[in-house]
Structure 1
Amino acid sequence: MDWLERMNNALDYIENHLDEELDYKKIAQVAFCSEYHFSRMFSAISGISLSEYIRRRRLTLAAFEIQKSDIRIIDLAMKYGYDSADSFSRAFQKTLGLKPSDARNKGVQLKAFPRISFQISIKGDTEMEYRIENIDFELRIIGKSKLVKTGRAFKTIPTLWNSAKKDGFMQKLIDMSWENPKCTLESLLGVCGNEAAITEDEFAYFMGVRYDGEPPSDMETLIIPPSTWAVFPNIVEAWKRLYSEWVPTSGYELANLPCIECYYGPKHKPRHELWVPVIPK
């Protein structure tokens, strides 16, 4: 069973259990991968978080039921996992643009969010450059973490670094990096999430540097065990193509560790890289 079939089987499972409490671990098991990586792959390929997709699909089905039957709003709320009619109504209006009661009216215009299916577009004219790096020691990264909305990560993360440059935090990290060069990860680092599953609409983005000394009192410490990494130039492009093009055909599985965005100094080529933790299949 290939990667594409496993992902679509997981989507089938979601679709068949939208009116039940969905277990994210079970969804990932259907796809034969961890919660962490199923959620990350889903978000990267679809552009929305897994939880947001499930919410949109449930509300779309609820809208169909409202138009086709006289089911009570409270019963519909309970069916699709809401604690009250009020919370259901707020979510319904925010997502579909009108109140559930108004959706009963004939001729009213509603939004519908169709189910997703994954396909791979084969493009032989655009290669993906990468290399494999082995870091055989524990990575000790110091810095600060910020919460990032999953659906806005590509816009939010550059803003975080711009703010860090303005308030001096970036320069502080630069001054601490390269003090004791130990590997090719001597750069500004953006660690995406952690070992917990990214199933919510936001995740922790850790901005820091590899550092072996005593961290300043205003910084946190993140430890990443020895690992093997697939390294790609051009972070934005790598994120877009990683799960849909490289992973399915690489002979590697993703390790249950966070990906790391590396931003190098002015004379380094490439200027930035995406480090992805992997293990051989």
Structure 2
Amino acid sequence: MISALNRLVDLVEEHLTEEYLAGEHLTEELDVDGLARTLGTTEYHLRRMFSSLAGMPLSEYVRRRRMTVAAADLVRGGDDLLRIAVRYGYGSTEAFGRAFRAVHGANPGDVRRDGGPLRTQPQLRFRLTVEGSFPMHTRIVDRPAFRLVGHATRVPLVHRGVNPHIQQHIAALPMEEHVRLKALSDTEPGGLLQVTDDLDPDAAEGTELTYLHGVAVAGDAPTPADLDAIEVPAGRWAVFRTSGPHPETLQNTWAATATDWFPSNPWRLRPGPSIVAILDRADDFSTATCELWLPVEPN
């Protein structure tokens, strides 16, 4: 996986100045899927791992790199602003200027005159450091098809701390509804579940996802008409057990799956919902024991 990510970075560099590309959509022109297949993985897994390890989605990295290289052209001089804009895929100096300011916080003309200020994005290089300081309590589970039922809503992605939108969604449900949902649970993962689905592969902070507060039921179980449902096909799951301060321990484990577990194990993410089962918790939810279920397939 580390070599695949570095090859993806090389692919970005190879396409930074192709003038036929549409300025805002370079990552759509990159053949990420073709590269992934060549490297024996999938575009979905490659994008998810890039975002987790780089701390930014691939599209953001591409934008920063293009404007870093464009800034060097500006400072060197020689070409007029329109020629530079076209070189980096923009049809006008206005569009190029907007993209440039979004990265550097300064106008192209000011940078050409003053040599800065610039916020450069170095070329990434991924390396695997094995420390063994974060033990991963994991099991692989092969599950038949099942259904997730409950109350769903669309919320923005929050990487750190409590997601207030999810908190509000859960708090709006009456206590008897939690009891009713829990009684419907009849298969693994058991109990009340926190489900995220329709997550963008780049997993950028603030992008929307579907959150479902509910339970897992057998695939042939009837679903009450007033509940939302997510059909989950048969497949394998990596199940990570966590225990400690909540949600910090859970979020740290989620991050460690990308930095430690996936690079060291012959599995990759496949599309599907991510599920958190709360096994035990303090009354104030300050600590909890959880299971994080991630859909996987052999690498």
Pairwise TM-score range, normalised by the shorter structure: 0.7 to 0.9
CA distance in 2 between counterparts of 1:240 and 1:101 reads 40
CA distance in 1 between counterparts of 2:3 and 2:63 reads 23
Letter in 1 for 2:75: Q
Letter in 2 for 1:4: I
- For residues 145 and 116 of structure 1, do their structure 2 counterparts lie closer, same or farther at Cα, with a shift above 3 Å needed? farther
**Residue 72 of structure 1 pairs with residue 90 of structure 2:** no
CA distance in 1 between counterparts of 2:11 and 2:33 reads 12
Name the counterpart of 1:244.
259
> Structure 2: 5+ residue runs without aligned partners?
19-28, 243-249
CA distance in 2 between counterparts of 1:169 and 1:62 reads 55
The answer to whether the Cα contact below 8 Å between 2:143 and 2:236 also exists between their aligned partners in 1 is: yes
The answer to whether the Cα contact below 8 Å between 1:50 and 1:200 also exists between their aligned partners in 2 is: no
CA distance in 1 between counterparts of 2:276 and 2:136 reads 17
- For residues 30 and 64 of structure 1, do their structure 2 counterparts lie closer, same or farther at Cα, with a shift above 3 Å needed? farther
- Correspondence for 1:163 among 168, 171, 177: 168
CA distance in 1 between counterparts of 2:80 and 2:37 reads 35
What secondary structure sits across from 1:223 in the alignment?
Answer: strand
Q: What pairs up with 1:42-121 in 2 under 5 angstroms?
A: 42-121=50-129
**Superposed displacement of residue 27, structure 1:** 4.4
Please give the TM-score of this superposition, normalised by the length of structure 1. Answer: 0.83
Name the counterpart of 2:188.
183
Deviations 1:11-30 (A, max 9, x none): 11111112234233234345
- For residues 30 and 143 of structure 1, do their structure 2 counterparts lie closer, same or farther at Cα, with a shift above 3 Å needed? farther
CA distance in 2 between counterparts of 1:253 and 1:186 reads 26
CA distance in 1 between counterparts of 2:84 and 2:59 reads 19
Letter in 2 for 1:71: D
CA distance in 2 between counterparts of 1:170 and 1:193 reads 27
Identical positions, percent = 26
Report how many residues are paired.
273
Q: Which runs of 4+ in 1 moved over 6 A?
A: none
> Structure 1: 5+ residue runs without aligned partners?
none
RMSD after superposition: 2.9
What secondary structure sits across from 1:178 in the alignment?
Answer: helix
- For residues 91 and 57 of structure 1, do their structure 2 counterparts lie closer, same or farther at Cα, with a shift above 3 Å needed? same
Name the counterpart of 1:280.
298
What secondary structure sits across from 2:169 in the alignment?
Answer: helix
Name the counterpart of 2:21.
none
CA distance in 1 between counterparts of 2:176 and 2:72 reads 54
The answer to whether the Cα contact below 8 Å between 1:145 and 1:207 also exists between their aligned partners in 2 is: yes
Q: What pairs up with 1:120-135 in 2 under 5 angstroms?
A: 120-135=128-143
- For residues 154 and 13 of structure 1, do their structure 2 counterparts lie closer, same or farther at Cα, with a shift above 3 Å needed? same
